[in-house]
Structure 1
Amino acid sequence: MKRLNWGMIGGGEGSQIGPAHRLGAQADGNFILAAGALDHDATKGRAYAQRLGVATDRAYGDWREMLEGERNRDDKVDLVTVATPNSTHFEITKAFLEAGFNVLCEKPMTMTVQEGEEIVKVAKATGKICAVNYCYSAYPMVREMRQMVRTGQLGKVRLIVTNFSHGHHGDATDADNPRVRWRYDPAMAGVSGQFADCGIHALHMASFIAGDEVRTLSADFASTIASRELEDDAMVNFRMEGGAVGRLWTSSVAIGRQHGFDIQVFGETGGVRWRSEDPNQIFYTPVGARTQIIEKGENGLSDEAQRLSRVAIAHPEGFPLAVANIYVDLAASIRGETRDGLPTAADGLRSMAAVHQAVASAKSGGAWVDARPPMFR
C-alpha cells in the first residue's frame, strides 16, 4: 500500500514530543515525513528537516510558508501534525483544516472553549479529520479495559480514580528552565498549568474507558512554588452523565513519582486498573474473587487489544508505539476506513471546557460547575 505524505509543524530538535511523533508516524510504514516547519527559528528548522530526509523545497521556515507551499502540490501532505506551543494550536489547526488538510493536533487543542467549538465546526464543514493526541488511550491494554466495560464485565461503572502526577517540576531552583517555565505562564499555556498539561489526559482516559462524558466537576488548584502563576497541583472531583463518580489528582511537584499516570475503574461486579509505567498489564478483580493479571499479547484478548499489539507477550510496548497506534488509526481513516477510538476535535473541545470550568471552580472555592462545552449541553 502506498505510503501517505506527512507533514509536521513544531517538534524540532530538542523537542520532548517531536521524536515520539516521528517514530510513531513512521513505525508501520503508513507515513513518510515529506514536509516540515520544525522550529520557530527558520534556519534551524529547515536544516533539521533536511537532516531528517525532507527535500529542500519542503523544509519550510514557518507554518504559513508550509501552508502555501503544500496547498497546491499534487503530492501535498495527507496529514499535518501540530506540535507547537499551546497558544498557536488554534490558528494553525484552523488554517490547515480550512485549506483541506487532515490535522493531528497536540493537546490542549485550543486555549479557549470558543476556539474549540470553532474547530469542531470547521472540521465538520470541511469534512476533514481533526484528531487530538490523547495517545494514552491507544495503549493495547487500555483498549482491553474499554472493551471490558463495553461488554459488561465490570457491571455498571460506579467509580473512577485516576492520577497523572509526577515530581519533575518540583525543584524551585529550576523555575527559569524554559522547558518548565512556559507551562506555568498564562501567555504560553493558557488559563491552566498542570491540569491542562497532564490532568486532561487522565480526564479523557476516564471518559474513553467508561464510554461516558463528564457532566459536572469541582476543583481545587494550588501553586506550591511561589513564582508560578498557574497551578502545579490540582484535585478534581467529577460526575459523569451515566452517574459514575470520579476522583482525579494531577501534580508536577510530587517528588518521587516518575510518570505517575494510572487509572482504576470500579463497577458493580468488578474492578480493573492500569498504570503507564507497567503498560503491558491490567489487574482485574471480579467481585468476591481473586485478582487476575491480564497480559498484553496473551490469548483471549479483545480484537482491539490484539490489533494494536506489535510484539510478542512479555515484550514492552512503550509510549512511542502508543503514539504509533494513533497514526495507525489516522492512516486507516484517511484511506476511508472506520476506526473506533480515534480522539477527535470533540474530545479536544470537551477537555478545554473542563479546563476552563475547573479554573472557575477553583476560584470559587470548589463550587460544582457544568463541565460541558455550551454546544454539547
Structure 2
Amino acid sequence: MFNEELKFDRPLRWGMIGGGRGSQIGYIHRSSALRDGLFQLSAGAFDIKPEACKSFGVNLGVDSDRCYSDYKVMFEEESKREDGIEVVSIATPNKFHFIMTKTALEAGLHVICEKPLCFTVEEAEILKEIAEKNDLVIGVTYGYTGHQMVHQAKKMIENGDIGDVRIVNMQFAHGWHSEEVEKNDPGLKWRVTPEASGPTYVLGDIGTHALYLAEVMVPNLEIDKLMCSRQSFIASRAPLEDNATVLLKFTNGAVGNLWASAVNAGGIHEQRIRIVGSKASISWWDEHPNQLVYEVQGKPKQLLDRGHGYLYNDDSAVSGDRIGCGHAEGLFESWSNLYQRYAIAIDAKIKGDKERFENTWFPDINAGLEGVRFIENCVRSSDNESSWVKYK
C-alpha cells in the first residue's frame, strides 16, 4: 500500500518553466508534484509575458517576486537565496528542452523534463555527462509508467510467467488530429512545426511513450535493427508525420512493431502494449489501466485487477497502490507515483545516499536518451526509403 507518511525534513523547493495559464500538462505536473507534500512550488517562469506570469503564479500561491518571465533570470535570482529552488520541471515546446535542461544543470539544479528530452543523441549525451559530473538527477516524464499494472507485468515477465519473449506489439494511435485542427489550436501548431517539435511529430510525441512501456516491462530487451515508414496524411504537416509504423528486431531474436498515429479516426487514446511469450501473453491498455490481461496458451483468459492479493508483492506496484482494489485509478495517480520517485531520487542525491538512489526506479536520463535514439533511427530509416538500419 502507498506510504502517505513518507516525508522529508522539508519539501524540495521546486520551480517550473512553462505550464502556465491554460496548460493541461502544466496542471498535471503541479497536481502530481504537490499531492504528497514532497515538493513545494517556490518559483516559476510560467509565461514569457511578465504580467501573465506574475498573475498566474500569484494565483497558485507563489510570491510575486519569484514569478519570472525569463527562466535564466529565475536561475540567477534563485541561486542568491538561501531558500532558492533545488529542482525545476520543464513543460515547454520541445525546441527548448535541451538548452533549458543544460542551463538548469549548470546552475546546479535537478531537472524533470518533458519528452523528448532533446533533438539528438549527441545532445542527450551532453546532458548525461553534465548531470553525472554535477551529481544531479534528470527525470523524464513518461507519465504512463507510474501505473501499477505496468510493473506487475514487468515482474511477471521477469519471473518467466510468459516464457521467452518473442513478440512486442506496441501502439499509441488516437484520432483527434484526423483533420487540420492546428489551424485553430496553438497548442498543436507547434507540435507539427519542425523548428519547435524537432524531426518528428507522432513518433516523438506519443510513440516514445509506447516504446518506453515496453522498455519498462521487458528491461533486458535491446533493439538491434528497425525499419520505419512515415506518412503525413494532413499534407500541411509534412515533413512531420501524423502516422508511422515501425518494425523492430531485438538482439535476442524477438521481433516487435509500433504504430503511432494522430489520424486513427474514432480512436480515443488507444495506447496498448502486448508482450507475447513462448508460454503466454500479457496485454495492457491505458484506457483501462487497472487491468492486465494474462493469456496462457490452452487456458481461459485471465483479467488481473490492480490491488488484489494474488498479484506479485513488488515494490514498484505495491508502493503505488493509493487506494484499495475496485476503485479506479488513473493518470494523476500514475504521475503522482512518478513524482514521488523523482523526489526520493533527488532527496537521496542531496543527502549522498547512494544506495537509496540506486534502488529507486524512475524514468531517468537513460530513458530520455534512448527515446531520442529511437526517434533518430526512425527518421534515418524513413528518409532512406524505409530501409532497415542498425540501432547502435
| TM-score band w.r.t. shorter chain | over 0.9
Amino acid at match of 1:8: M
What residue is the counterpart of 2:230 in the other structure? 221
Report the AA paired with residue 346 of structure 1.
N
Q: TM-score, normalised by structure 2?
A: 0.92
- Choose from 38, 51, 62 the match for 1:43: 51
Pairing of 1:115-194 with structure 2 (within 5 A): 115-172=123-180, 174-194=182-202
Secondary structure of the residue aligned to 1:227 is: helix
Question: Which residue is 2:374 aligned to?
Answer: 354
Alignment of 1:283-298 (within 5 A): 283-298=293-308
For the pair 1:85 / 2:97, whether they are aligned, the reply is: no
CA-CA distance at 1:323 after TM superposition: 1.0
Q: Which residue of 1 aligns with 2:251?
A: 241
RMSD, aligned CA: 1.4
| 8 A contact 1:175–1:227 mirrored in 2 | no
1:228-281 CA-partner distances (Å, limit 9, x unpaired): 121000001112233321110010011110111110011111111010100000
- Share of identical aligned residues, percent? 36
Q: 1:139-173 CA deviation, whole Å, 9 max, x = no partner?
A: 11111111111121111111110110101111235
CA distance in 2, matches of 1:111, 1:72: 32
Tell me the residue number matched to 1:56. Answer: 64
* 1:334 equivalenced with 2:346 (yes/no): yes
2:243 aligned with 1:262: no
Structure 1 unmatched runs, 5+: 373-377
Q: Name the residue aligned to 2:321.
A: 309
Aligned length: 372
1:233/1:253 contact within 8 Å kept: yes
**What's the secondary structure of 1:335's corresponding residue?**
helix
- Structure 1 residue 37, shift from structure 2 partner: 0.7
For 2:235, what is the secondary structure of its paired residue? coil
Cα offset for 1:359? 0.8
Cα offsets for 1:97-155 (capped at 9, x unmatched):
12211101100000122111111111111110011111211111111111111121111
Q: What is the CA distance between 1:78 and its match in structure 2?
A: 2.7
2:236 is paired with a residue whose SS is coil
Q: State the partner residue of 1:275.
A: 285
- What displacement does 1:34 show? 1.0
SS at match of 2:37: coil
Q: Which amino acid in the other structure matches residue 264 of structure 2?
A: A
2:22 is the counterpart of 1:14: yes
1:68 counterpart SS class: helix
CA deviation after TM superposition for structure 1 residue 59, in Å: 1.3
Structure 2 unaligned residues grouped into runs of 5+: 1-6, 349-355
Counterpart contact for 1:220–1:235, Cα < 8 Å: yes
- State which of 1, 23, 38 in structure 2 corresponds to 1:30: 38
Q: Are residues 300 and 185 of structure 1, via their aligned partners in 2, closer, same or farther at CA, if it must alter by over 3 Å? A: same
Name which of structure 1's ranges 100-109 and 146-155 shifts more when overlaid on structure 2: 146-155
Q: Counterpart of 2:218?
A: 210
Which residue identity does 1:332 align to in structure 2?
I
Q: What TM-score results when the alignment is normalised by the length of structure 1?
A: 0.95
Q: 1-side partners of 2:140 and 2:182: how far apart? A: 30
In 2 relative to 1, CA 173–47 (structure 1 residues): closer, same or farther, beyond 3 Å? closer
Separation (CA, whole Å) in 2 of partners of 1:138 and 1:62: 31
- Return the alpha-carbon distance in structure 1 between the equivalents of residues 345 and 367 of structure 2: 17
**Any conservation in 1 of the 2:173–2:270 contact (CA below 8 Å)?**
yes
Query: 1:152–1:340: structure 2 CA closer, same or farther, 3 Å change rule?
Result: farther
Displacement of 1:179 after TM fit? Answer: 1.7
CA shift, 1:86, in A, is 0.2
Any conservation in 2 of the 1:207–1:214 contact (CA below 8 Å)? no
Aligned to 1:199: 207
Cα deviation, residue 371, structure 1: 2.5
In 2: Cα distance, 1:71 partner to 1:370 partner: 44
Query: How many angstroms apart in 2 are the aligned matches of 1:191 and 1:116?
Result: 15
What are the Cα deviations for residues 334-367 of structure 1, in whole angstroms up to 9, with x where unaligned?
A: 2213344311111111111111110111111211
1:366 aligns with 2:386: yes
Q: What SS does the aligned partner of 2:24 have?
A: coil
